[in-house]
A and B are shown apart, each in its own frame.
With several copies, the nearest count.
Chain A
Amino acid sequence: MTQAQSTDTLRQEIRHWLADNVPSGWREAMTNVEQEAFAQAQRDWFRKLVDAGYATPHWPEGWHGGGRSLAEQKVIFEEVARADAPRLIMFFVSLYHAACTLFECGTQEQQDKYLPGIIEGQVWCQGFSEPNAGSDLASLKTRAERKGDRYVINGQKVWSTMAQYADRCLLLVRTDKSGPPQAGQTYLLLDMKAKGITVRPIHQITGDDEFSEVFFDDVEVPVEDRVGEEGNGWAVAQATLASERGLTLVELGQRMRYSLPMITAAMREAGREDDASLRHELGKLSARVDATCALADRYLMRRISGEEQVGDASIVKLYFAETLREFTRLGKRVAGLSGQYDRGFMRGATQETGNWMVDFMNSYNWSIAGGSNEIQRNIIAERMLGMPREPKTWKLEG
């Protein structure tokens, strides 16, 4: 069987499976509900996907569902988008970030200890971002002091997805203040039930609270839960961040493409399907949406063929974020006053709810988080175009 045949077969399989298994009406069911209802729905959907073998295609052969090629993984993401299935928001960190970090950088003991729990549904969260750091990961301030066979943690993390439901946390801490900011960082696996941890949900402007702040007050982590060497945390974190390898943007691009009919529907609802002005913008947008998908696809292909170059990922993310903004902006324009009504928040719905103000606001998740558009532009300018980096030292006038 050729590779193309194999992905075609998989595509048919998962398409049928999704048709039978995607919870019907999940968007409506997730509107204006408490977070626990969403968490339960996530657990149910996780169980189904895991059991069917579609949640762990990127795990090594031998693990349940594992051993799929990147091309096959892409098919799964595409079909999930096509079926408008829920995203596994609560388990993304465990399935991708935690698992890939363990496979790449963890010891055999760590793998044996944690990977089975992930398949069983343990929730992990990420503890990288800090307040007032924005996209400046290197400025990390949360301290870990070595005391015997433990690290003692003090500090604060922020923007941790579903941290209030998390069993464990991928934690990046500072163990050494001397030297350049990227050095002196250490990577720990933290038990979220440990003493001294406080989780406080962040109230977002959409009404959502999927992100949290996490506070650490003398929290102890055994040394055996350190990944990599002390001081090598930055490198391990890069492995974590690279774990989804562009699959998310393949999925999000496809979701956006499949959502274009939301705009045509809104035009019809407003009786403006023949409005040349809206059609002009819609046509321009549709070419951009197609280009977003093409970029994401080609990026993944380059990863598969090992031709990825520095900055490629930045272009995909920047272009997606800007196109998504335009997408939601046009929807908002078409919807008019009715698009301004607060119809409640749909949990886990990303930015394709048709509640245009929510979709518009959620589009900022992609232009700000995970390296803002501004950071991506720096990377593209400096590392692809070879323009000089921001000066390291500088002095103001006067």
Chain B
Amino acid sequence: MSSEINELRDSARQVMDGSGLAAAENESWALLGELGWLMVSVPEEAGGLGMGLEAACALQIEMGRGLATAPYLSALMSIEAVSASGAASELLENLMAGADYVAASLADNAVQCSASGDGVTLSATLCAVPSADKASHILVSSDEVLALVPADSVTLTATATWDTTRRLFEVELEGVDVPASGVLARGADAEAIAAKLAVLRDFSLAADAAGGAAALLDVTVEYLQTRRQFGRPLALFQALKHRCADLKAQVVAAEALLLDNLGRLGGGNDALLAQAARELACTVYTGVGEESLQLHGGIGMTSEHVCHLFLKRAMLDEHLGAPVDSYPQALAAALLEASA
């Protein structure tokens, strides 16, 4: 990771620390715009900072670490979509400034699309759309079409998850007519952008998981250091030490793979690099979550302690993106194909 990105990450950590573990969504959203975090990966010629996906992931690591509430990934996906499609620069500027928010689904969805005059008619149920109630538009992305749908033409249903750090919605489109001006791309262009969005999404989920796992392990070790039982600190018990050491190795490995794979982007296998990073990091995060709760004992079972917030976010991260089991299947399919 370049020193530029290391600096970005350091400053992000300071910001996250400053606003506490989980700043309110409104507050942190405003901050995102102010700090320019929404423009990090937009090319310089489009008015962004041109620091690429590595920078976005560096920030996402810190946001995972700090249990950030703002819909950063969703916003980045929309910004990437608008930027990649070369659409109106005014919209892009507003999005990058945080003045406007277009919500994107963090799941794979089936979209029905038919031509309608110059525009299209769309039907779909989009799952896992973060903070959709704050969005002006919803991004609809499929291999056929990439479009912006006004929020007032869809039906939103809040789908509360156990992870209270994020607010997800189900977005229902029932034959919504989108004029040509709302269609960002079609056909092969739309497919190419959808692929890029999946890479952004999977890497970002990996980053959130890598950051969260590292933070939760820190919390857990600190707890074991502090808490005494049978007349000695829990951290003295070798069985617990060894479990923490195993978790540490896994956390470091997940981050190593994430950063290494980010460094390999552009070689024609971006999707696989993102999927591998996502698969390992989310597996590690849920593993750290499971172990941390056990290591905390009773206190971890109470909502007073921060432990469960990480655990629940870990579990949700694991089920965002493509279906959880599709990741190892995709990696295996690639290996089998390569050796055919």
Using a CB–CB cutoff of 8 Å, the interface residues on chain A facing chain B are: 129, 132-136, 139, 158-159, 202-205, 260-261, 263-265, 267, 273, 275-284, 286-288, 290-295, 297-298, 315, 318-319, 322, 325, 332-333, 336-337, 339-342, 357, 360-361, 364-365, 367-369, 372-374, 376-382, 384-388, 390-391, 394, 396
Contact = CB atoms under 8 A, between A and B. Distances in A.
B134 interface: no
Contact of A339 (B224, B225, B319, B338): B319
Contacts of A315: 248-249, 252-253
A337 B160 contact: no
Contacts of B293: 364
Consensus secondary structure, chain A interface:
helix
Contact of B301 (A265, A332, A364, A382): A364
Contacts of B260: 290, 293-294, 297-298
Closest 4 CB pairs of A and B: A283-B328, A294-B260, A283-B331, A381-B241
Given A135-B229, A283-B327, A337-B127, A264 B336 contact: yes
Contacts, number: 226
A369 B339 CA distance: 33
Contact of B259 (A287, A298, A322, A396): A298
B253 A342 contact: no
Contact of B242 (A134, A204, A377): A377
Interface string B233-271: 101111111101110111011101101110000000000
B232 A342 contact: no
A136 B335 CA distance: 41
A283 B300 CA distance: 31
B298 A159 contact: yes
Contacts of B315: 332, 340, 357, 360
Interface in B300-340: 300-304, 308, 311-312, 315-316, 319-320, 323-325, 327-333, 335-336, 338-339
Given A284-B283, A286-B331, A364-B294, A385 B221 contact: yes
B107 interface: yes
B325 A294 contact: no
A355 to B, nearest CB: 10
Best-buried of A265, A267, A315, A381 by chain B (most CB within 10 Å): A381
Contacts of A129: 298
A342 B160 contact: yes
Contacts of B246: 318, 377
B74 to A, nearest CB: 15
B336 to A, nearest CB: 5
Contacts of B227: 132, 134
24 contacts: A129-B298, A132-B227, A139-B231, A205-B302, A278-B325, A282-B332, A283-B332, A284-B283, A286-B335, A287-B277, A291-B254, A295-B253, A322-B249, A337-B127, A337-B128, A340-B315, A357-B315, A361-B301, A365-B301, A372-B297, A377-B246, A387-B241, A391-B236, A394-B236
A158 B301 CA distance: 13
Interface of B: 107, 127-128, 159-163, 221, 224-225, 227-233, 235-242, 244-246, 248-250, 252-254, 256-257, 259-261, 276-277, 279-280, 283, 290, 293-294, 297-298, 300-304, 308, 311-312, 315-316, 319-320, 323-325, 327-333, 335-336, 338-339
B294 A367 contact: yes
A147 to B, nearest CB: 30
Contacts of A295: 252-253, 256
Nearest to A369: B298
A284 B242 contact: no
A287 B240 CA distance: 26
Contact of B279 (A284, A333, A342, A390): A284
A386 B225 contact: yes
A362 to B, nearest CB: 9
Contacts of A202: 302
A334 B327 CA distance: 14
Contact of A205 (B259, B301, B325, B331): B301
Given A279-B332, A373-B294, A290 B245 contact: no
Contacts of A385: 221, 241, 244-245, 248
B259 A294 contact: yes
B309 to A, nearest CB: 9
A341 B257 contact: no
